[in-house]
């Protein structure tokens, strides 16, 4: 039932969003954005700076063009007919309760929609929502009046109308027999000003927003970390379609300082807070990301940055990457769906963990414990036999699984770990296999150890070959890698990969390449064949309502789904990442 309801909701949302008109909002471009209003101490920020611009991008994107393709008309008609009664009933109830249609409701956001979690005046903190509604003030005010009327009937809510700096604030105080369990749950309210609705669970944050309404005072935008991340991730001022910022250490610290976790939890959290500098975690300042409409070869681009003080100390040393040889080896063939490569500084990671453990347990404690563990069967030393054997090189590939009887075979997944000595690594693996009773087979000079993991649906194979440990879910991909036949073109020589790889910088710490169309192909063909119900028990209702054979051939869909790529590079203040989707 839940799956059917979710499917109905997604289908309805897709039809509504696709049909929404895109309205020009020239005033949005000059409006003060929330990051110019919010306090400097903002710890979480998720923003659509311009919903109208975002709608335009979606409409003009490959996804938007796919939805508008006449080849989908028959299937869209199937979906609409299947849920017509439920949708009509649901939309009618929505309009009856709120006084506006679903379409009118979705047209309310016309400029910025943002959510933030910020520190406020007087050691306070809370959530803030900004929503620009353009010319829909009468509709928004009516909705708020109805909400206030219903909330006023709640016995534990007290309505208090207040005024600040000439603006009316609607506030609800939550009544408790004693103190509220957390300052975050004592009140909430909102105000309207300049075609914008602002909602918060702290009056101090509403007042702070009004005080800095013109964006002329100190604000989140002047936060050095946020400013740096935006400077690295945005191609131009206000070019972002979406913006995300998260300062986990700052948020946790403020939650403890304000008692927002509750009295009992705050005591334990306060003790944990004291250990963060020792662990080196206070070096992590924030993570931020921006998505933009692409230009040149790109349809869309997202850039992100993990900002951390340098050089890394404590556990931050365990997260370092080294420059990777990014080209796929010859055994990665052009039929794979995805390829990713990175090189982890595993030696430094071990040293970082060892130093932390020894700091609390005494010098040499880690080595002593590992020595004792190595005396037990199967007699493997974690440091000498495993960690010291690994080069840190990691390659990850996926490919289509085998679909027996026309079913959905799922993806095969292979992880290749670089090893320094194949013979030594093979001896270690043989010890593990003997201890656990794994089945073995010989293939192309390699001993393959296999087992069926519960829930995996495919056999898992492990082997050592040519300086790498191969771990594979799905036997055919592993065999293909071991054969490395020359009759199949390597991925590195394929046109799609080369179109993506030309955008990888030479000093990349990691790279990734995907062909989403090929990832979706087998699932799509199985659904379109009309046999999907057999593969997904419990979904019979949805497959009885919709004739999925009305879907167009996959070639109609695949032309809208383009290859994607991504990479990471070292930054003066952490790690910078970029991901992109190519144009056709």
Could you tell me the pLDDT band of residue 31, with boundaries at 50, 70 and 90? Answer: confident
In this structure, the strands spanning 284-293 and 411-419 are unpaired
pLDDT(301) > 90 = yes
Q: How many residues does the chain have?
A: 584
Q: Per the omega criterion (within 30 degrees of 0), is the bond before 311 cis?
A: yes
**Using one digit for the tens of pLDDT, what is the confidence trace for 308-340?**
999 999 999 999 999 999 999 999 999 999 999
Q: Would you say 169 and 189 are in contact if contact means Cβ atoms under 8 Å apart?
A: yes
pLDDT digits (tens, 9 = 90+) for 197-249: 999 999 999 999 999 999 999 999 999 999 999 999 999 988 999 999 999 99
Would you place residue 15 in the very low, low, confident or very high pLDDT band (cuts 50, 70, 90)? very low
pLDDT digits (tens, 9 = 90+) for 233-245: 999 988 999 999 9
- Report the pLDDT value the prediction gives residue 12, as an integer from 0 to 100: 40
Q: Per-residue pLDDT tens for 349-390?
A: 999 999 999 999 999 999 999 999 999 999 999 999 999 999
Average confidence (pLDDT) over 529-537: 81
pLDDT at 273 over 70: yes
For tokens 């996804």, name the residue: 63
> For all residues of the chain together, what is the average pLDDT?
91
The terminus-to-terminus CA distance of the chain in angstroms comes to 39
CB 477: neighbour CB atoms within 10 A? 26
* E strand spans, 111-181: 113-120, 124-132, 157-164, 167-174
* Better pLDDT: 459 or 582: 582
Q: Is the pLDDT of residue 454 over 80?
A: no
Helix, strand and coil content of the chain, in percent to the nearest 5, comes to 45, 25, 30
- Which region holds residue 392: left if phi is over 0, alpha if psi is between -120 and 50, else beta? left
Around Cβ 114, how many Cβ atoms within 10 Å? 21
Of residues 534 and 554, the one with the higher pLDDT is 554
- Nearest Cα residue to 550 out of 56, 75, 167, 9: 75
Q: Given pLDDT bands bounded at 50, 70 and 90, which one contains residue 459?
A: confident
Q: How confident is the model at residue 478 (pLDDT cuts 50, 70, 90)?
A: very high
Which residues, other chains included, contact 579 with Cβ-Cβ below 8 Å and sequence gap of 6+? 301, 302, 303, 512, 564, 565, 566
Which long-range contacts (C-beta less than 8 Å, at least 24 apart) are formed by 534-540? 534/407, 535/407, 535/408, 538/3, 539/3
Please give the pLDDT value at position 405.
44
- The whole-angstrom separation of Cα 223 and Cα 240 is 18
For residue 77, with 0-12 CB atoms within 10 Å meaning exposed, 13-18 middle and 19 or more buried, which class applies?
A: exposed
- Band (pLDDT 50/70/90 cuts) for residue 406 is very low
Burial string for 240-269 (b: 16+ CB within 10 Å, else e) reads bbebbbebebbbbbbbbebbbbbeeebeeb
Mean pLDDT, range 177-186, rounded to an integer: 92
Report the interhelical angle of 2-19 vs 73-82 (nearest 10°): 130
Backbone angle region of 271, left / alpha / beta, with phi > 0 → left and psi within -120 to 50 → alpha: alpha
Quote the radius of gyration of the chain (alpha carbons, Å). Answer: 28
Q: Which of 452, 462, 456, 459 is nearest to 475 (CA)?
A: 459
Q: Report whether 447 contacts 426 (CB < 8 A).
A: yes
Note the pTM of the prediction, 2 decimals: 0.91
Which residue carries 């939890």 as its tokens? Answer: 265
Phi and psi torsions of 24, nearest 5° = -75, 135
Whole-number Å distance between alpha carbons of 407 and 405: 5
For the residues 136-152, what does the mean pLDDT come to?
Answer: 95
The pLDDT of residue 457 is 64
459, two tokens:
């056999």
Is the confidence at residue 26, as pLDDT, over 70?
no
**pLDDT at residue 404, as a whole number:** 53
pLDDT number for residue 455? 60
Enter the DSSP assignment of 382: I
Q: How far is CA 142 from the centre of its chain?
A: 36
């Amino acid at each position: 039932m839940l799956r059917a309801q979710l499917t109905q909701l997604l289908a309805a949302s897709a039809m509504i969003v696709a049909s929404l008109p895109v309205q020009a909002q020239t005033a949005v471009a000059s409006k003060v954005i929330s990051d110019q209003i919010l306090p400097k101490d903002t710890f979480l920020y998720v923003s659509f700076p311009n919903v109208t611009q975002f709608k335009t991008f979606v409409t003009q994107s490959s996804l938007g063009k796919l939805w508008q393709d006449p080849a989908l008309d028959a299937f869209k008609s199937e979906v609409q007919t299947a849920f017509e009664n439920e949708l009509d009933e649901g939309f009618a109830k929505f309009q009856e309760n709120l006084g506006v249609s679903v379409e009118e409701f979705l047209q309310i956001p016309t400029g910025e929609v943002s959510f933030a979690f910020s520190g406020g005046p007087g050691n306070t903190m809370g959530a803030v929502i900004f929503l620009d509604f353009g010319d829909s003030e009468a509709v928004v005010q009516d909705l708020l009046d109805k909400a206030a009327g219903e909330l006023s009937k709640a016995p534990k809510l007290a309505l208090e109308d207040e005024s600040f700096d000439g603006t009316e604030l609607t506030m609800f105080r939550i009544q408790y027999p004693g103190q509220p369990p957390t300052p975050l749950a004592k009140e909430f309210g909102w105000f309207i000003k300049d075609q914008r609705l602002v909602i918060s669970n702290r009056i101090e944050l509403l007042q702070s927003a009004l005080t800095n309404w013109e964006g002329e005072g100190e604000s989140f935008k002047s936060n050095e970390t946020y400013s740096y991340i935006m400077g690295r991730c945005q191609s131009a001022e206000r070019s972002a379609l979406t913006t995300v910022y998260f300062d986990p250490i700052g948020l946790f610290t403020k939650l403890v300082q304000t008692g927002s976790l509750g009295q009992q939890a705050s005591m334990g959290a306060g003790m944990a807070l004291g250990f963060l500098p020792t662990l080196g975690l206070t070096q992590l300042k924030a993570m931020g990301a921006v998505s933009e409409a692409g230009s040149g070869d790109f349809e869309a681009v997202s850039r992100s940055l993990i900002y951390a003080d340098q050089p890394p100390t404590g556990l931050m040393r365990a997260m370092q990457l080294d420059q990777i040889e990014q080209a796929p080896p010859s055994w990665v063939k052009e039929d794979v769906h995805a390829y990713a490569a990175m090189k982890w500084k595993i030696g430094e990671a071990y040293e970082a963990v060892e130093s932390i453990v020894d700091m609390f347990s005494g010098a040499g404690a880690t080595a002593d414990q590992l020595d004792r563990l190595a005396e037990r069967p199967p007699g493997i030393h974690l440091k000498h036999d495993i960690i010291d054997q690994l080069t840190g090189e990691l390659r990850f590939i996926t490919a289509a699984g085998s679909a027996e009887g026309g079913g959905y075979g799922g993806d095969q997944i292979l992880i290749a770990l670089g090893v320094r000595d194949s013979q030594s690594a093979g001896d270690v693996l043989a010890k593990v296999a003997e201890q656990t009773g794994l089945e073995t087979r010989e293939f192309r000079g390699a001993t393959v150890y296999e087992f069926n993991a519960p829930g995996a649906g495919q056999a898992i194979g492990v082997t050592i070959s040519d300086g790498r440990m191969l771990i594979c879910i799905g036997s055919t991909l592993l065999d293909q890698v071991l054969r490395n036949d020359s009759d199949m073109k390597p991925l590195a020589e394929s046109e799609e990969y080369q179109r993506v790889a030309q955008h990888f910088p030479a000093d990349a710490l990691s790279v990734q390449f995907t062909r989403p169309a090929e990832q979706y192909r087998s699932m799509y063909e199985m659904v379109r064949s009309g046999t999907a119900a057999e593969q997904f028990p419990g979904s019979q209702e949805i497959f009885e309502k919709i004739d999925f054979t009305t879907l167009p051939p996959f070639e109609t869909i695949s032309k809208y789904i383009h290859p994607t790529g991504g990479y990471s590079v070292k930054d003066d203040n952490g790690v910078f990442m970029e991901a992109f989707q190519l144009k056709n």
